[in-house]
Every structure is written in structure tokens, then in C-alpha cells.
Amino acid sequence: MSNDLTITRGFPAELRSDVAVLYDAAFGPKLAIAIPDSARRLKILEAAIDPAYSFVALSGQKVLGVAGFKTPSGAFTSGIRPQLLRERLGLLGALRATLILALFERELSPRELLMDGISVSPGARGGGVGTKLLEELKLFAAREGFRTIRLDVINTNDGARRLYERLGFIPTKTSHFRYLQWLLGFSAATTLEYGIQPAA
Ligand SMILES: CC(C)(COP(=O)(O)OP(=O)(O)OC[C@H]1O[C@@H](n2cnc3c(N)ncnc32)[C@H](O)[C@@H]1OP(=O)(O)O)[C@@H](O)C(=O)NCCC(=O)NCCS
């Protein structure tokens, strides 16, 4: 792992584009179902992401990782709203994107923090950056009084699932999407939850 790695809540405006590119490197294929044009998708992400709902891993000014999250007050990607989509994609493109993105929408239970995507730069993977981001998120969730951290991992992503389980996330349910596999590219996803110990 990089010696000068720092984890910060949020990021400065000048790193917005780098963070969007990193997020798109991991979640672009999924978002492409809704927004196929990669240049427009990146611009939408750049405009929509909310730093307040993220932790980033920095080596100097280089972004090595980002972990987005969702709470009852907002989410990393909640800025991807119909109006922004209409401005960038036109009426039909926005309609298509809104309908497809609704399939990915997940509701929150009270005092639950939901992961809204974690991505580590391909060259830095396997070096502990993802672990550090998740550990920081756990500390944050505990400080803020959340009871659980929830995330979903698709059935083809064994590596990420191993990491979550190593960090104490427990599988709670698996959802099957057999009839949507042609659209989503995966046929099942497992929900994992991390239970936060209340402070003594
Ligand atoms: C999953 C991910 C965030 C982990 O970050 P990381 O910095 O590589 O993780 P760490 O170095 O802290 O931990 C390594 C663990 O991550 C897992 N992992 C997942 N994908 C990996 C990859 N491409 N390279 C290395 N490790 C990977 C492995 O299980 C590894 O644990 P192991 O050594 O016990 O096998 C990162 O690999 C990534 O961005 N992957 C692509 C996007 C993604 O899948 N996001 C999660 C969606 S639910």
C-alpha cells in the first residue's frame, strides 16, 4: 500500500472529475444499461456525485479509491435526478435512464447506512485500500449512531464478497433476477450486513 495514503471524508472540487472516472471504472457497465454513452455518463456523474456522502483514499492528489454511501439525509449518487438527465440526455434518453435506474433503487431502514458503491483504482487493488475505506466507513457509521451497514454484491463478484465477509459483513439474503439477466448482466445479488456495536 502507498505510504502516504490518507482517507478523507469527501474531496475537493478539483478532484470531482477523477472521482467520477474512478466510480465509472467500477460501475460504468451497470450504469451503461441506463446511460449507454460513456462521455455523457461521466459528465452526469461528475455533476451529480455528492462528496459529503463519500470517503476517498488519496495518495497526494491522486485518487486511489472511493466509497459512496446513502443515509436518510442523502446519497453519493442521489444527484442523478430526472431534471439533470433531461438536460443531458433529452426527454427520451432521460425517460429510459429514469426507468432503468429505478430498478437499482434501494430503500433504507431506520438507522441503516447503505453502501452506494466502492471502487479502487485497478493499479491499487489488492493493496489494502478497499479495506481502509470500509474500516473508515464503519467508524463513521458508529460515530453517527447507525446500527447497520448494508450492501449488495452481485453473484459474479466473488472477490468483493470475500473482502466484505473478511471485514465482518454477514450475508442476509440473496435476490434472484432470472428474468432480468438479459438486461442487468447478472442473475442474483446477495445482501450483506455489518452490525455496529453500540458505544459502551
Ligand atoms: C472490491 C474492491 C473495492 C476491493 O478493494 P481493494 O483495495 O482491492 O481491497 P483490499 O486490497 O483491501 O482487499 C483485497 C481483497 O479484495 C478482494 N478483491 C476484489 N477484487 C479484487 C481485485 N481486482 N484485486 C485484488 N483484490 C480484489 C479480494 O477478496 C481481496 O481479498 P483476498 O486477498 O482475501 O482475496 C476493488 O477490488 C475494486 O474496486 N473492484 C472493482 C469494483 C467492485 O467490484 N466494487 C465492489 C462492488 S460490490
The pLDDT value recorded for residue 200 is: 57
What does residue 185 show for φ and ψ, rounded to 5 degrees?
Answer: 90, 0
What's the pLDDT at 23?
97
Identify whether the C-beta of residue 19 lies closer than 8 Å to the C-beta of residue 63.
yes
* pLDDT at position 198: 73
Distance 163 CA to ligand 1 centre (A): 6
Give pLDDT tens digits for 46-101: 999 999 999 999 999 999 999 999 999 999 999 999 999 999 999 999 999 999 89
CATH architecture of the domain covering 5-149: 3-Layer(aba) Sandwich (3.40)
Ligand 1 atom, smallest distance to 134 CA: 12
Average pLDDT of the residues in 100-125: 92
Which residues, 6+ apart, have CB-to-CB distance to 143 below 8 Å?
none
The per-residue pLDDT for range 119-153, each reduced to its tens digit, is 999 999 999 999 999 999 999 999 999 999 999 99
Residues 164 and 101: their CA atoms lie apart, in Å, by 25
How many whole angstroms from 129 Cα to the centroid of ligand 1?
9
Q: For residues 162 and 192, is the Cβ–Cβ distance under 8 A? A: no
Position 199 confidence tier, pLDDT thresholds 50, 70, 90: low
In this prediction, residue 2 has a pLDDT band, given cuts at 50, 70 and 90, of low
Q: Is the pTM above the cut of 0.85?
A: yes
Q: Which of 16-20, 54-58, 152-156, 163-167 has the lowest mean pLDDT?
A: 152-156
Nearest-CA residue for atom 20 of ligand 1: 159
Instruction: Parse the chain into domains and list their residue ranges.
Output: 5-149
Residues 6+ apart with CB under 8 A from 10: 51, 52, 54, 55, 56
